[in-house]
Amino acid sequence: MHPVNWLIVGAYLLYVVVDGLRRSKGTDRLEGYFLANRSLPWWVVGLSVMATQLSAVTLIGTTGQGATDGMRFVQFYFGLPLAMVILGVTLVPFLHGSKVFTAYEYLERRFDAKTRSLTSFLFLLSRGMSAGTILAAPGVVFSAVFGVDLVWSVALIGVPTVLYTMVGGVQAVAWVDVKQMVLIVVALVAVVIVLLVQMPVSPDNALRIAGATGRLDIFDFSFDLNRTYTFWSGLIGGTFLMLSYFGTDQSQVQRYLATRTVDEARTSLLMSAYWKIPLQGLVLLVGVLVFVYYLFQPSPLLFNPAHEARVRSAESVAYESLEAQYAEAFRSQNAAALAVADARNSGDQMAATVAIDAFRATEAETRVVRSEALALAERVTGESSQDVNYVIPRFVLHELPIGLAGLFIAAVMAAAMSSIAAELNSLSTATVIDFYRRWFRPSEADGHYLMVSKVVTGLWGVFACVVAVYAATLGSLIEVVNRFGSFFYGSILGVFLLAMIPGSRATGAFVGLLVGMGTVAAVTFGAPSVSFLWHNVVGAVTVVAVGVFLSRAAPPTNVPAS
């Protein structure tokens, strides 16, 4: 990588750590460290929430998803606006008004201590694994950049993030998120401009070519439980997922608990309702344009450099044969793509239709050769050979101008650090408040809990690094992180829904949560073809149904607090 790019990345790392440490003022008490003394403006919280979502998984995995699969992934977020409106009138007032540190603390007031602890424990499991997956995305980038082991690449981004999170708490995390959000958007827009300028066809022809492969198709109205990205899975399953993520996940709840009023908490969430889908569309569009770019510029047969090296070493003859086929397919595909643009420029609709059909045929031939190469890589390495996580890193390192490559890598680091910092801070909060203070040392001074919180943050950082090394081999990282979450989120949401149903009892909530998790596990492993988005619906409905039934069937054993 060019020294200018190194300089940009190094300067950014230094700036983030220094700014995070500078924001540590006023964090010498628990409320200051965990909730910024409930003083953050709504727009800071809103941008922090969006930055937490827009992780390095998004910049690496979602752009790669756009390049390989197109825009249909955006359906995943169709339930987001509805979820934000529902939360604004239900859970947000409940949680903000109760003046709790964690969402699960409220469950003890409503039900009992064991329900609180089990729910918080499930959160720790899901969020700990998700934090590792988020950390894996920049690990993939730096492993490709430096040609070093993934472990060291993960440490490069993990160590400075843990440092400023340990010292500065949620206040440092939130204010750094604001700056990182700006950097991410600037980098995305700059990449789009560069792509459009460098392609030999006009922007409208580029989109036309992408559309010919189906990559601009957004809506899929089929009601098929086995398809992950459809209008209905996004609207129904996505609503349940977003309700749980924004309403019960401590990494998000902790943000709006830090606002000054309930109205500001609601407004901060509505920022995501308005801007998340357009922003996600921009991220996917970057991937789609990268796909079109590689129709006119030669690309590697395998984007994963480590797999390419191993295959070339172990199966050199077979791989060279596939490379020759790929080069021939690329020439045909390139000529067909240019023919589409020429036909459209001439205004001859008949010629344009013929050119598009020819292009689709050559694109299909290219996919066949790449599929054979991926299968060969899987046989040689014994690992999943999906290239989706390596498409964008390869493009950034080899195609972007000097300086912009450094800016994009810094943006990936920004996205990773904002998300990981939020995860670590929330993991530390739940561990200390819901377990350490609740069950072991309930009467210590704030200084003691702060010291423990910083140690716990470091330990969760180590855990995330270990998970990251494993998660990088599981395929599309954006899908991996949502699969992890969807296994737990629906059941956790079900408990909070029960909390708002009059007459719900502690036994019903606890047993319902256990049955909900068991049901999701049965669906996950017994019916693996069912899309993970529907797991959120299954978990939530099961917990509510079982909880209401048991609460009505059994006599009350306690009088829950409101």
Please compute Rg for the chain using Cα positions: 24
Separation between Cα atoms, residue 378 and residue 388, nearest integer Å: 14
User: Rounded to 5 degrees, what angle do the CA atoms 131, 467, 187 make?
Assistant: 45
pLDDT recorded at residue 562 = 42
Interatomic CA distance for residues 52 and 46, integer angstroms = 10
DSSP lists the bridge partners of residue 40 as 259
Closest CA to 185 of 77, 7, 50: 50
Question: Alpha carbon of 141 to those of 150, 162, 274, 362, 559: distances in Å?
Answer: 9, 19, 30, 30, 54
Per residue in 96-133, pLDDT (tens digit) is: 888 888 889 989 989 999 999 999 999 998 888 888 87
Q: Provide the greatest CA pair distance for the chain.
A: 80
pLDDT of residue 144: 63
Residues of the chain where predicted confidence (pLDDT) is lower than 50: 559-562
Predicted pLDDT of residue 559: 46
Burial of 182 (0-12, 13-18, 19+ CB in 10 A): middle
pLDDT of res. 145? 61
Q: Which residues pair with 259 in a beta bridge?
A: 40
Residue 509 confidence (pLDDT)? 93
User: In the chain, where are the structural domains located?
Assistant: 3-295+395-467, 305-384
- Amino acid, res. 203: P
CATH of domain 3-295+395-467: 1.20.1730.10
pTM: 0.76
DSSP summary character for residue 235: I
